[in-house]
Amino acid sequence: MKWLDMFVEKSSRKIARVTSRRSFLTGLGTVLVGSTAIPLLPVARAAGGGDSEAGGNGYPGVASQTTGNIEDPGDPTSCDYWRYCAIDGFLCSCCGGSHTTCPPGTEMSPMTWIGTCMNPVDKKHYIISYNDCCGKTSCGRCLCNKNEADKPPYRAFSNNDTNWCLGTESSIYHCSTGIIVGVAVDKQ
C-alpha cells in the first residue's frame, strides 16, 4: 500500500514545495503555563467572565462542534483538533466559517503554509493547508498557535510569523482554516 501513499505524498509535497508552508501570526496567543498549552488572552479575559457552555474546547463562550464524520474526530473549535497541529491564528470554525471554509465576505488566501498532521482514528498523516481568510478585521475568537516544525522567517515557507494574506485584495487577516490536500508518507 505504500506506493499509493507515496503517490499522494508526491503530489501533495509538490503543493507543499510550491505554495508551501504558511501563514502569519505566531500567536503567543498560546503560551505554556505550567505544561499545558492554553491560549492566554482568551483565558485571561474569561477569568472575569461567566460560565461557559463550551464543551471542552478551552474557549468559554464558544460552543463545540463536530465534523459529523467519525473518521474525522475532534472539535473544530478546539485548538487540539488534529488538523490544527501546525495552525496559527483565529480558528475560522469560531468565526462564521468552518475548518475548511472562510466566513462570508472574506477572501481565501491562495498562498498557504502546509503542515502534516496525524488523524488519531486512521493514524494516517494528512497534509493540511492552512489557508487564511482575509479582508475583515481580526476575528478575535479561538486564537490557536501550534509551532511544531515552525522555522524562523529565513525559512520563509516554514514560518508562521508572516502575514500570508498575500495574494488577496486586502492583506487584513481574519482567521485560518485547515484543509486536507492529501495524505503524507505512511509512517507506520
Partner 1 sequence: MKQLLIGVLVLVFSVLVQAELPVDEIGIIEKLPATYPDSWVYAHDTNFYSLLDGKVVIVDVAAENRHYKGSLGVGQFGSFLPANTRPELYAAETFYSKRLRGERTDVITIYDRVNLSPIDEIVLPGGKRGQFVTFKSSLQFLNNEQFLLLMNFSPATSVTVIDIEKRKIVSEVQIPGCSMIYPTAKLSFASLCSDDLMLVSHLNKDGSINKQERTAKFFSGDDDPLFMFNGKIGNTAYFPSFKGQIYPVDLSSAKPKAGKSWSMLSKKEMAENWRPGGWQIVSAHANGQLYVLMHKDGFNGSHKNGGSEVWVFDTTMKKRIKRVVLKEWGVSIEVTKGDKPHLVVTNGNYDLDIYSATDGSWQRMIGGRAFEMPMVLHAAN
In the structure grid, which three cell numbers stand for residue 173, read together?
Answer: 487577516
Q: Which residues, including other chains, have CB under 8 Å from residue 114's CB and lie 6 or more apart?
A: 12, 15, 16, 19, 20, 21, 22, 127, 128, 129, 130, 181
Q: CB of 33: closest distance to a second copy in angstroms? A: 11
- Please tell me whether residue 52 binds partner 1 under the rule CB under 8 A: yes
Q: Which CB atom, from 60 or from 80, has the smaller least distance to partner 1?
A: 60
Cβ-contact 183, 12 below 8 angstroms: yes
* 25 touches, from partner 1, a second copy, none (C-beta below 5 to 8 Å by class): partner 1
Active-site pick, 88, 113, 150, 164 = 113
- Least distance (Å) from a second copy to the CB of residue 42? 10
| Lookup result for grid cell 485571561 | 44
Q: Is the Cβ–Cβ distance between 47 and 140 less than 8 Å?
A: no
**Residue 68 engages partner 1 in binding (rule: CB under 8 A):** no
Among the listed residues 5, 132, 150, 164, the single catalytic one is 132
Bridge-based pairing state of the strands 30-33 and 114-118: unpaired
Residue 48 near a second copy by CB under 8 A: yes
113 is catalytic: yes
By the rule CB under 8 A, 44 interacts with a second copy = yes
Annotated catalytic residues are 113, 132
